Amino acid sequence: MTARSCPELSTLINYVTGAVAEPDAIALDNHIQVCADCVNSLSQIDSAHDPVVRAIHAAVENSCGNDPLFDAAEIIAKLKSASPTRGIAGPWTAEFGTLPFAIGDRLGHYLLTGVLGRGGMGVVYEAEDEQLGRRVALKVIRREFANDLRFRSRFLQEARAIAGLMHDHLVPLHHIGEFHGSLFLVMPRLVGSTLADYLVQKGKLPEQPAIQIGAQIASGLAAAHAVGLVHVT
């Protein structure tokens, strides 16, 4: 390498603070490895002024002697086997949430056709209502909750309150039931995309729709609140 191909000072500053992009960095590595002039220039740069380098200095000093892994190795191994791949019976079911029912099982006249999601309360399946011939969302409550008498009475009480709500901006409850000791809820299977997806795609809502949607959400929540239900999440 000749002095003529040496990078500019600004590039060297980025180099020594790790702020160069990878394709350029490889060429720079090759140059720095052999260039005495650049090394002299680098030794004049105080990289500790860079906020990222400063933070890393501090972190290495502060955590010296601590193992940031703690003793989480076992939990990490479990969680890795439970990657949240969407779809039917994916790795989801591997370690934690063994599905309470398999795809293809029938709960009364509901045929389970897929898994839509999993939450703290239980698993939401996609199902076919074979009597009415429509697609529904069916939520099976975790067994540990379903077995608890206090939870059951509270659950029934809340389900009745929800069932009494007729509101354009609330998802209605079709049915609650029990199958071999598991409580479940049946709701419409909604189609279309979520507001969150829309926002990701379009960036933001124009003013009028934003006001309209905000008002609809608020009116739905108010209706639920009026019968004593609080949406805690």
Partner 1 sequence: MDTPASLIARLRNEHDHDAWNVFVDLYAPMLLRWCRRRGLSDQDAADCIQDILTLLVGRMREFEYDPNRSFRGWLKTVATNRLHDFFTRRQRIIDAEALASSSLETDNEVDVFDEQEYRDYVIGRALQMIETDFDDKTCDIFRELMLHHQSAEEVAEQFGVSRNAVYLAKSRVLRRLRERLDRLIDWPTER
Residues that bind partner 1 (CB under 8 A): 15-20, 22, 25, 28-29, 32-36, 39, 42-43, 47-49, 51-64, 66-70, 72, 74-76, 78-80, 82-86, 96, 119-121, 144-145, 148, 150-151, 154, 196, 199-200, 203, 232-233
Q: Which is nearer to partner 1, 132 or 196 (CB)?
A: 196
* Residue number, 35 or 107, with CB nearest to partner 1: 35
Which 8-state DSSP code applies to residue 173? Answer: P
Rounded to a whole number of angstroms, the minimum distance from the CB of residue 215 to partner 1 is: 22
Between residues 49 and 109, which has the closer beta carbon with respect to partner 1? 49
d(CA 109, CA 127): 10
Q: Of 153 and 212, which CB lies nearer to partner 1 in the complex structure?
A: 153
> For residue 221, what are its two tokens?
């929540």
CB of 195 to partner 1, least distance (A): 10
DSSP state of 169: T
Would you give the DSSP letter of residue 8?
A: P
Kindly write down the DSSP assignment for every residue of 172-226, as one continuous string: PP-EEEEETTEEEEEEE---S--HHHHHHHHSS--HHHHHHHHHHHHHHHHHHHH
Task: Tell me how far, at minimum, the Cβ of 166 lies from partner 1, in Å.
Answer: 27
